[in-house]
């Protein structure tokens, strides 16, 4: 397994074509805007010890980072949820490696199922690739979300056929793909890109039903960095105005400009009827992964309680009640994630799969609860969350003393501590951290309607009706 330092060294070896703020970026690892997200990914290497963060490979028998592991039991699924919460609390940010893990597990099931129907050898290819990922402790970026163009049209119906990633050529050596994947979390911090369909496909969409994995610096791949609220604060030096001093997340638009993929790295090729199953498997795994939001919620609850103490209101009954409500809501997320793990089952491939209904309920709660936590945090912290002067003003020879005098907290709490905590709440709920806590809670792993559709499909209303009719004597 890689150490944190070895991980950073491996990123420096990548030759990525990256654009940000209208300019090409050379060294992404040490760029002040990008580095906090690399630090968060590095935490998955730094903390890789013990049964929660590591596992025994079913391929090699070696101890590996759990982010490269294929779940072999319900205990593995439970440890995955625990790992997400630990890292969410440790970084207070998106640590970006879950989607790759979830893609690997979904592919371990679906490649086996395709082979069983068509006598292909996708699963053999996949297991060889998996061993390579495990042996080198690689971070994988799961690329699923296409640009989509006109969302009322299917992939093959688009006026611009490149609105969904597709195969444009093939040869005896491999295939050539063209298109784009959007909202790619942690793409610049990943060694590999795993591209998958984003929706169910029909026969006419078969050129879009493709799954492959390639190195992230493959020729023809370009990355366009996504903006975040307050992102240029990170370019102002190491000031506490950023809120979270150490960690962050990032998203990119990834362009595939006629990229060549060798056959050995192709895990689905035009088997369009399996696209929906792959999307569902990946989505269910990834919706379980939102136990990380309980970890980030831990940080927000801690910040809110601390501000209440700094403001001298921590003992007020209504404040204590609101903090308790925050804890109650936050634990609901974690309870759901654990439940879908405990109720998981073994697939024919040998991989353990979560209870899909409960995984979708987990994520539906995540589209609501973090927003409620943010609301309570704002109520307790007060309007100062959005009116704090900058650190430079606190240090200024003329006005600094006034900032320190009038923004100090209860008792002996200095203004600097109070401002730092306010900035953390700001970054988690409105600024830099909000990019991976609130909007990502809403849209990551699918927006609320996607979960509602899956819940509706799996709700067994007929069984519930039968139970009701039996009890009141209706045949």
Return the CATH number at 402.
1.20.140.10
Q: What pLDDT is stored for residue 237 in this prediction?
A: 83
| Pair (69, 131) in one structural domain | yes
Per residue in 79-106, pLDDT (tens digit) is 999 999 999 999 999 999 999 999 999 9
- CATH code of the domain covering residue 74: 2.40.110.10
Per residue in 204-230, pLDDT (tens digit) is 999 999 999 999 999 999 999 999 999
Whether 185 sits among the annotated catalytic residues: the reply is yes
Alpha carbon 454 to its chain centroid, in Å, reads 20
Whether 379 sits among the annotated catalytic residues: the reply is no
469 assigned to some structural domain: no
Q: How confident is the model at residue 136 (pLDDT cuts 50, 70, 90)?
A: very high
Handedness of CA 240, 85, 44, 129 (dihedral sign): negative
* Average model confidence (pLDDT) across the chain: 97
| Pair (378, 314) in one structural domain | yes
Per residue in 258-309, pLDDT (tens digit) is 999 999 999 999 999 999 999 999 999 999 999 999 999 999 999 999 999 9
Q: What pLDDT is stored for residue 394 in this prediction?
A: 96
**How many angstroms separate the CA atoms of 43 and 175, rounded?**
35
Listed residues 218, 245, 272: the one ending a domain: 272
62 assigned to some structural domain: yes
| Pair (124, 73) in one structural domain | yes
Whether 94 sits among the annotated catalytic residues: the reply is yes
At residue 434, does pLDDT exceed 90? no
Q: How many domains does the chain have?
A: 2
Average pLDDT value for residue range 309-335: 98
Per residue in 341-361, pLDDT (tens digit) is 999 999 999 999 999 999 999
The residue annotated as part of the active site, out of 269, 286, 391, 436, is 286
| Pair (410, 301) in one structural domain | yes
**How many angstroms separate the CA atoms of 350 and 71, rounded?**
9
The residue annotated as part of the active site, out of 28, 44, 91, 185, is 185
| Pair (406, 454) in one structural domain | yes
Of 437, 310, 318, nearest in space to 381 by CA? 310
- Look at the pTM and tell me if it is higher than 0.85: yes
278 assigned to some structural domain: no
Listed residues 242, 272, 302: the one ending a domain: 272
What spatial distance separates the first Cα and last Cα of the chain, rounded to whole Å? 61
* CA distances for 249 relative to 40, 78, 227, 428, 459, angstroms: 7, 25, 11, 11, 35
At residue 432, does pLDDT exceed 90? no
Handedness of CA 126, 345, 145, 243 (dihedral sign): negative
At residue 436, does pLDDT exceed 90? no
State which residues form the domain around 117: 4-83+90-272
Whether 98 sits among the annotated catalytic residues: the reply is yes
The residue annotated as part of the active site, out of 45, 247, 251, 252, is 251
Listed residues 210, 242, 272: the one ending a domain: 272
The residue annotated as part of the active site, out of 94, 140, 336, 340, is 94
474 assigned to some structural domain: no
**How many angstroms separate the CA atoms of 183 and 444, rounded?**
9
Average pLDDT value for residue range 17-28: 96
| Pair (399, 451) in one structural domain | yes
Whether 290 sits among the annotated catalytic residues: the reply is yes
192-195 and 140-143 strand pairing: parallel
| Pair (71, 142) in one structural domain | yes
The residue annotated as part of the active site, out of 140, 230, 252, 292, is 292
The residue annotated as part of the active site, out of 290, 310, 352, 437, is 290
Whether 145 sits among the annotated catalytic residues: the reply is no
282 assigned to some structural domain: no
The residue annotated as part of the active site, out of 44, 71, 90, 98, is 98
280 assigned to some structural domain: no
Of 62, 79, 121, 70, nearest in space to 100 by CA? 70
330 assigned to some structural domain: yes
| Pair (316, 424) in one structural domain | yes
Whether 340 sits among the annotated catalytic residues: the reply is no
| Pair (448, 339) in one structural domain | yes
Q: What pLDDT is stored for residue 431 in this prediction?
A: 86
| Pair (79, 225) in one structural domain | yes
| Pair (368, 454) in one structural domain | yes
59 φ, ψ to 5°? -95, -45
| Pair (307, 381) in one structural domain | yes
Three-class HEC string of the chain: CCCHHHHHHHHHCCCCEEEECCEEECCCCCCCCCHHHHHHHHHHHHCCCHHHHEEECCCCCCEEEHHHCCCCCHHHHHHHHHHHHHHHHHHCCCCCCHHHHHHHHHHHHHHHHHHHHHCCCHHHHHHHHHHHHHHHCCCEEEECCECCCCCCCCHHHCCCHHHCCEEEEECCCEEEEEEEEEEEECHHHCCEEEECCCCCCCHHHHHHCEEEEEECCCCCEEEEECCCCCHHHHHHCCCHHHCCCCCCCCEEEEEEEEEEEEHHHEEEECCHHHHHHHHHHHHHHHHHHHHHHHHHHHHHHHHHHHHHHHHCCCCCHHHHHHHHHHHHHHHHHHHHHHHHHHCCEECCCCCEECCHHHHHHHHHHHCCHHHHHHHHHHHHHCHHHHCCCCHHHHHCCCCHHHHHHHCCCCCCCCHHHHHHHHHHHHHHHCCCCHHHHCHHHHHCCCCHHHHHHHHHHCCCHHHHHHHHHHHCCCC
Q: What pLDDT is stored for residue 310 in this prediction?
A: 98
Whether 251 sits among the annotated catalytic residues: the reply is yes
455 assigned to some structural domain: yes
């Amino acid at each position: 397994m890689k150490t944190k330092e070895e991980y950073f060294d491996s990123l420096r070896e990548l030759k990525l074509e990256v654009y940000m703020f209208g300019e090409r970026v050379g060294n992404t690892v040490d760029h002040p805007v990008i580095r906090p997200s690399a630090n968060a990914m590095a935490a998955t290497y730094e903390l890789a010890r013990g049964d929660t963060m590591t596992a025994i490979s079913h391929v090699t028998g070696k101890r590996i980072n759990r982010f490269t592991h294929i779940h072999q039991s319900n205990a593995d699924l439970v440890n995955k949820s625990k790992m997400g919460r630990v890292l969410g609390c440790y970084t207070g940010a998106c640590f970006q490696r879950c989607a790759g893990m979830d893609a690997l597990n979904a592919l371990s099931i679906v490649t086996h199922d395709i082979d069983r129907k068509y006598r292909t050898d996708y699963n053999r290819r996949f297991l060889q690739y998996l061993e390579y990922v495990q042996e080198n402790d690689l971070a994988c970026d799961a690329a699923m979300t296409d640009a989509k163009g006109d969302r009322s049209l299917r992939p093959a119906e688009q006026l611009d056929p490149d609105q969904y990633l597709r195969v444009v050529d093939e040869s005896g050596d491999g295939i050539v793909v063209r298109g784009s994947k959007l909202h790619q979390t942690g793409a610049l911090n990943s060694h590999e890109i795993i591209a998958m369909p984003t929706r169910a496909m029909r026969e006419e969409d078969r050129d879009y039903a493709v799954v492959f994995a390639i190195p992230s610096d493959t020729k023809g791949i370009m990355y366009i960095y996504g903006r975040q609220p307050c992102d240029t604060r990170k370019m102002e030096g190491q000031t506490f105005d950023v809120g979270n001093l150490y960690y962050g997340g990032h998203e990119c638009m990834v362009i595939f400009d006629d990229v060549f993929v060798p056959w050995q790295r192709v895990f689905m090729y035009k088997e369009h009827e399996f696209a929906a199953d792959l999307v569902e498997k990946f989505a269910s795994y990834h919706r379980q992964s939102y136990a990380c939001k309980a970890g980030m919620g831990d940080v927000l609850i801690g910040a809110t309680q601390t501000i209440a103490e700094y403001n001298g209101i921590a003992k007020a009954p209504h404040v204590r009640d609101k903090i308790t409500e925050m804890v109650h809501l936050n634990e609901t997320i974690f309870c759901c994630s654990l439940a879908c793990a405990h109720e998981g089952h073994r697939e024919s491939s040998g991989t353990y799969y979560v209870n899909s209904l409960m995984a979708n309920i987990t994520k539906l709660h995540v589209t609501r609860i973090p927003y409620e936590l943010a609301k309570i945090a704002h109520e307790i912290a007060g309007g100062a969350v959005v009116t704090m002067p900058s650190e430079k003003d606190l240090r200024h020879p003329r006005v600094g003393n006034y900032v320190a005098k009038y923004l100090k907290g209860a008792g002996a709490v200095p203004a600097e501590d109070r401002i730092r905590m306010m900035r953390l709440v700001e970054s988690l709920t409105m600024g830099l951290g909000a990019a991976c806590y609130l909007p990502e809670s809403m849209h990551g792993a699918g927006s609320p309607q996607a979960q509602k559709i899956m819940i509706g499909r799996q709700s067994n209303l007929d069984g519930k009706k039968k139970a009701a009719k039996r009890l009141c004597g209706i045949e």
